[in-house]
Structure 1
Amino acid sequence: METNNSPPLGRGWGWVRAALLGPPPSLPRWGRNGGVLLSGWYGGGNVGDEAVLAALVQMLRERNPDLPIAALSVNPKQTARLHGIKAFKRSPLQVRAALTACDTFALGGGGTVQDVTSVWNLPSFLLYPLLARRLGKRVVWCGVGVGPLGTRLGRWLTARAAWAAQRITVRDEASAELLARVGAPMGRVEITADPALALRPIDRAAAMKVLQEANVYTDDAMPTTPFPSSPQREEEVVGNSSLITHHSSLSRRLVVFALRRPLDPQLGKRLRPGYLLPVSMRERFGAWSAQAEQLYRAMVEALAQLADYCVSEWQAEALFVSFDTVDRKVVAAVRRRMRYVEHSYELTGEHHPATVMGIVGLADLVVGMRLHGLIFGAAMGRPLLALSYDRKVSSFMAQLGASEWTLAVTDAAALVAKAAALWPQREVVAQQIAARATELKRKARLNANIIEARAG
């Protein structure tokens, strides 16, 4: 039987304690006792976070089709529609209603346990696990990414929330090491992998159909402007081996870009105004330091040059896939700087994570800043070139044994040279990544085990 030896929580919860521990609101129950309540940044329009939720729901349904599953969401209607589960708004009153019906509260993956993006991030995610434990619920963390933790308060709150959990799985060794440093109960911690690795993608034909319906990467949508050069098309020789390209049956090569804005180097170092704003508001009002703006402009220029290089040297089309609504600004900036923009496309609209994963799987090369863009590429066995804006990207590439193909965001100028080195051996790299990803997928499936241990 699992026990929790952490000290009791204090009584100074104020309005939150009154809202959550008082009489529950008269909201409809989402299932019988024994259900699972998942918590993460769901409903916020981030494909990676939605992939984590989709994978967890998929794995739990495979084990127990009748298990009641619900999630906390910033957009409950969207979450319910996308995942086919009950969803509650992330507000104290609705959380109280959800907690009354669940048996297990699961902090469900993603880079939720960090305080570098905003001072508000940790309280918004770690308050509810503490309250769930206060209400006598079983609390687990599933494939969570931990860090960076730049503040004393952040480290204290993380340790407190870790002691409230009966079981914890983290997605990489760096997360486990950080938990150990802040004083978490390491006997409860297990290293698995990001849950999204276990997601089942749509098949190749379905992915091509989505692109055709969106007028992306189809013969009808091909620009009339010819490619600026005509390199060898179907076959490339590397050493003594002949490697047939992944998409030799298609009319064109495809390079998928999964981009985002790099973090402000000044965030977390001092209480800048931007650090006091949630990420969405900082994006809206442009609360960035001068150093961040300089880094961003250099990155955009380097990525535009890389996209042009893909077109001119490889006769490839560039497909930009935004993993968050804010990424579209980055995509627009890169495409404005491209010389051969007519050979680039952007995937728009709302798509299920399994659809996006299937589309990423069509790529001859995935260029990623977004962690889950790289995770999708690895799960589909594609070669990866990573531009690391955060430790989690470097950590994932190390898990794949692909650190050689990782550049720091400050080294964006070296992108073209690194891509040129990768391209001739991309199929060998893809095979190596696919082999490592197979083991990571097995570990990712373990995340559902700790939820199922007592749920249902």
Structure 2
Amino acid sequence: ILAAIAQELVTQLPQVELEVLSGDPAATQRTYGLEACDRWSLRCLWRALRRSDVLVQGGGGLIQDATSCMSPAYYLGVLLAARIARRPYAIFCQGVGPLRRWLWRSLTVLLLGKARLLIVRDENSAELLLRMGLRKPAEVAGDPALLLKSASPEETRQWLAGTGARLPEGYWLVVPRQVAGAEEAVAEAARALASLERPVVVMPFQAADETLAREVAGIAHGMALPTPEDPRIGAAIVAGACGVVAARLHALIFAATAGVEAFGVDYDPKVAAFCDAVGYPHAAQPALEHVAAWAQQVENGENFLQSQSVERMQSSVRHAFRRLAELLMRAGASSSV
């Protein structure tokens, strides 16, 4: 998401300077070439806000308390700090909810209602905000990752050479996620793919999933790749697959933008919603025969992906970036955080 936001903002506003609140500033600077500061340091956060003209918060599912209270506490806290620092802020292509606790619901309505620009990434988030009492309707756009350009073939080859891996021809790609329920589902899907003739490659999108990726690769008698730091590399490897089975939303997004067929393991409503929107089949616990049948249909040339739906989503994200660029220009922004 960060890569896509940086890519599009710099394209539309070449003079803009970006600074990122990051859990690992050194890695952010190395991977994206952007200035970064420690998101957990109150001093760094405050200084970054004071240096900036506008705070841009997004995308992703940041304001939700399904996993823990840390997420809404932190991200709403950053918005509150921006208010205290008298800095305008934009909520950009975020997912909102679920929010079960009254405190987070109330603070969300209060702080998002003060945003100079409020764009959410799906209709469910917009409807939730209205039900919670937000007076102005949020705009809706897709995920910024829909516009991310993949790495070049040469960049991808260099990365693969650095890992010591060599991709086989015509591979199925499996993207796992270490979350309750999804591990077994992905393993079953990989087992189904292993029954076919094509090789299976397993690639995690986050380092926390690497152990699971090796286990799944063992089940499928395939190969496991390490986590690519640069998401453009991940997008390129997704684009090179003949089909993708994924428990990660962004793997499905990369597949859709590359025109690659995919099967979603919908551990989360956002995965199911995206799959429904673009035509991908999905299931929380896909049976072996379902994945095998899907893979055989893909082999036979059947198309599930609805390209026009993907193009409409991409158009909505481009419009969202134009709206954000207009806000930055109105604010006279030369620096955003």
TM-score, length-scaled by structure 1: 0.67
Task: Tell me whether 1:318 sits opposite 2:200 in the alignment.
Answer: yes
Q: Which residue of 2 aligns with 1:425?
A: 297
Within 1, Cα distance between the matches of 2:69 and 2:101?
Answer: 9
Change (3 A) 1:205 1:382: farther
Task: Tell me whether 1:406 sits opposite 2:288 in the alignment.
Answer: no
Change (3 A) 1:126 1:71: same
SS of the residue 2:199 aligns to? strand
Q: Deviations over 1:76-110 (max 9, x none)?
A: 12112211221111121111111112111111201
Change (3 A) 1:136 1:73: same
Q: Percent identity?
A: 29
Within 2, Cα distance between the matches of 1:330 and 1:92?
Answer: 35
Q: Which residue of 2 aligns with 1:152?
A: 102
Within 2, Cα distance between the matches of 1:354 and 1:116?
Answer: 29
Q: Which residue of 2 aligns with 1:211?
A: 160
SS of the residue 1:386 aligns to? strand
Task: Tell me whether 1:360 sits opposite 2:238 in the alignment.
Answer: yes
Q: Which residue of 2 aligns with 1:125?
A: 75
Find the structure with the greater CA-based Rg.
Answer: 1
Change (3 A) 1:66 1:335: same
Aligned amino acid, residue 436 of structure 1: S
SS of the residue 1:367 aligns to? strand
Task: Tell me whether 1:329 sits opposite 2:217 in the alignment.
Answer: no
Q: Which residue of 2 aligns with 1:347?
A: 225
Aligned amino acid, residue 203 of structure 1: S
SS of the residue 2:95 aligns to? strand
Task: Tell me whether 1:447 sits opposite 2:320 in the alignment.
Answer: yes
Aligned amino acid, residue 109 of structure 2: A
Q: Deviations over 1:16-55 (max 9, x none)?
A: xxxxxxxxxxxxxxxxxxxxxxxxxxxxxxxxxxxx1111
Contact 1:70–1:87 under 8 Å retained in 2 = yes
Change (3 A) 1:390 1:177: same
Q: Which residue of 2 aligns with 1:255?
A: 172
Please, which moves more after superposition, 203-212 or 164-173? 203-212
Contact 1:383–1:433 under 8 Å retained in 2 = no
Change (3 A) 1:435 1:207: farther
| Residues matched between the structures, number | 326
SS of the residue 1:115 aligns to? coil
Task: Tell me whether 1:79 sits opposite 2:28 in the alignment.
Answer: yes
Within 2, Cα distance between the matches of 1:102 and 1:449?
Answer: 20
Superposition pairs of residues 1-400 of structure 1, within 5 angstroms? 52-90=1-39, 91-187=41-137, 189-204=138-153, 206-208=155-157, 210-218=159-167, 252-263=169-180, 295=181, 299-300=183-184, 302-313=185-196, 315-336=197-218, 338=219, 340-341=220-221, 344-400=222-278
Unpaired segments ≥5 residues, structure 2: none
Contact 2:202–2:214 under 8 Å retained in 1 = no
Within 2, Cα distance between the matches of 1:62 and 1:145?
Answer: 24
TM-score, length-scaled by structure 2: 0.89
Offset of residue 436 of structure 1: 2.0
Contact 1:202–1:357 under 8 Å retained in 2 = yes
Aligned amino acid, residue 226 of structure 2: T
Q: Deviations over 1:338-364 (max 9, x none)?
A: 1x52xx112215431111101110111
Q: Which residue of 2 aligns with 1:277?
A: none
